[in-house]
Chain A
Amino acid sequence: DTAVSQTPKYLVTQMGNDKSIKCEQNLGHDTMYWYKQDSKKFLKIMFSYNNKELIINETVPNRFSPKSPDKAHLNLHINSLELGDSAVYFCASSQVAGSEQYFGPGTRLTVT
């Protein structure tokens, strides 16, 4: 069974659209994260949730809104998509905040 899964794996959409990426972990971890990987492969943390509560909210546009319906899921909703949003988005989870993280396979978002 996949430990951290993301859907979809690929997402191609037009500017101005609203889209969501879903993440689920079956590891029983308390903390989940969203990262954005840019074209230079640099990973930057966007959000972190611990037991459904937001604990890290880095400087990202308000168009990005994470939602955690339960501690096994952390979804990322993006409004009014822009060209610069094109990237690979990784979800991750860890037992507790600060422990080693396990990553999903990534979602490659392309905005045209």
Chain B
Amino acid sequence: SQELEQSPQSLIVQEGKNLTINCTSSKTLYGLYWYKQKYGEGLIFLMMLQKGGEEKSHEKITAKLDEKKQQSSLHITASQPSHAGIYLCGADSNFNKFYFGSGTKLNVKP
């Protein structure tokens, strides 16, 4: 079974709209990572969250980790076509074990 559940699986939004992607684990996480994969390319590291309640922002992207450290959300404000891609959450559940969610495919319509 998958360690991390991501939702939604795919998302189409109009340019300028806000959106949220969720990542949920059944286990307490030691670290939660967000990556972005542009179609046909490698993964780009976005943010890492480690503390319960932690929130980080970079440009128009904000990631949060809940107090229990089992759920994270990635929020994009005023989306742009450049935000399109596949967003993956990854997590440490045990030392040396790293898991990825199944990804959320985002399309932004101009």
Would you call A55 and B41 a contact (CB within 8 A)?
no
Answer whether A90 and B42 are a contact pair too, CB < 8 Å, given A43-B88, A100-B48: yes
Answer whether A100 and B45 are a contact pair too, CB < 8 Å, given A41-B86, A41-B103, A41-B105: yes
Answer whether A101 and B42 are a contact pair too, CB < 8 Å, given A40-B102, A42-B100: no
Partner-contacting stretch, out of A11-19, A73-81, A102-110:
A102-110
B contact patch SS: strand
Answer whether A97 and B43 are a contact pair too, CB < 8 Å, given A40-B102, A41-B102: no
CB distance from B38 to the nearest CB of A (A): 10
**Cβ proximity bits B7-44 to A, threshold 8 Å, 1 near / 0 not:** 00000000000000000000000110101010001111
B interface bracket (residues with beta carbon within 8 Å of A): 20 to 34
**Cβ proximity bits B79-110 to A, threshold 8 Å, 1 near / 0 not:** 00000001010101001111110110100000
Q: Of B86, B96, B97, B98, which is in contact with the most chain A CB atoms at under 10 Å from its CB?
A: B98
Question: CB-CB < 8 A to B92: which residues of A?
Answer: 98
Question: CB-CB < 8 A to A101: which residues of B?
Answer: 33, 45, 90, 98
Q: Of A4, A55, A101, which is in contact with the most chain B CB atoms at under 10 Å from its CB?
A: A101
A contact patch SS: strand
Would you call B96 and A56 a contact (CB within 8 A)?
yes
Query: Does residue A45 face the partner (Cβ distance < 8 Å to B)?
Result: yes
Give chain A's interface residues, CB within 8 Å of chain B.
4, 33, 35, 40-45, 48, 55-56, 90, 92, 97-106
Interchain Cβ contacts under 8 Å between A and B, 23 examples:
A4-B42, A35-B100, A41-B105, A42-B2, A42-B100, A43-B88, A43-B100, A45-B98, A55-B96, A56-B97, A97-B96, A98-B96, A98-B98, A99-B31, A100-B31, A101-B45, A101-B90, A101-B98, A103-B42, A103-B44, A103-B45, A104-B42, A105-B41
Given A41-B102, A43-B103, list of 12 further CB < 8 A pairs? A33-B98, A41-B37, A41-B86, A92-B43, A97-B96, A98-B96, A99-B31, A101-B33, A101-B45, A103-B42, A103-B44, A106-B42
